[in-house]
Amino acid sequence: RPPSTQPKIAFIDFDGTLAYKDTVDWFCAHYAPAVFEEVDAAFARGEITLDETLARQVAPITATEDEVVAFLIDTVSVRPGVPELLSFCDVHDIEAVIVSSGFDNLMHPYLQAHGYDLPIYAHSVAFGPEGMRVQLRGRAECDLCGVACKRAEVRDIAAGRSIAYVGDG
């Protein structure tokens, strides 16, 4: 049977999928361990949302963007199999994009340091002497779970194309 000519897109989660570790958890636990643990526990108990978790965990961190990026590049590897996945996508004309609840301004330099240049749909974070501030992407509310999640965003970005999703997000 002839190959499909319908455009395809592969959505790849970043934290704990493309990057071997959850980079947000990793740098928050490194720079503000007590706050990270307290907020993570509140999230696990269902007391706060993911967006609230992100905002609270990064708020006390006064490291610079360059320091956080260097820390991530030095301590987090790309997951085995990623080069093969991206090569497969390239050979089969599948657009590969990152979709994440993490921070694009940390992902771009991380990916570039590892030789990758992929489109990223994610939040961003501002750095300052008083701490970090999350800048949330606008995401549509999902008709399945009722919150602004990746599922609705993936559907919107795909715009009718065949979808593959890689990750746990």
> What's the confidence (pLDDT) of residue 1?
43
The stretch 53-57 carries a mean pLDDT of: 96
H or E element in which residue 8 lies: strand 8-12
Q: Cβ(61)–Cβ(35) under 8 Å?
A: no
**Residue 50 confidence class, pLDDT cut points 50, 70, 90:** confident
Task: For 156-167, write each residue's pLDDT tens digit.
Answer: 888 888 989 998
The stretch 57-72 carries a mean pLDDT of: 98
**Residue 119 confidence class, pLDDT cut points 50, 70, 90:** very high
> What's the confidence (pLDDT) of residue 160?
86
Q: Name the 3-class secondary structure at 71.
A: helix
The stretch 88-94 carries a mean pLDDT of: 95
Please say whether the dihedral angle defined by the alpha carbons of residues 119, 54, 52 and 63, taken in this order, is positive or negative: negative
Please list the alpha-helical segments (H only) found in 13-149.
23-31, 33-44, 50-58, 65-75, 82-91, 104-113
- The alpha carbons of the chain give a radius of gyration, in whole angstroms, of 17
> What's the confidence (pLDDT) of residue 3?
54
Which residues fall within 8 angstroms of residue 86, CB to CB, at 6 or more apart?
Answer: 96, 116, 118
> What's the confidence (pLDDT) of residue 76?
97
**Residue 67 confidence class, pLDDT cut points 50, 70, 90:** very high
> What's the confidence (pLDDT) of residue 145?
67
> What's the confidence (pLDDT) of residue 20?
95
Angle formed by the axes of helices 33-44 and 23-31, nearest 10° = 130
Token pair in block for residue 50: 């993911």
Task: For 1-32, write each residue's pLDDT tens digit.
Answer: 445 567 899 999 999 999 999 999 999 999 99
H or E element in which residue 133 lies: strand 133-135
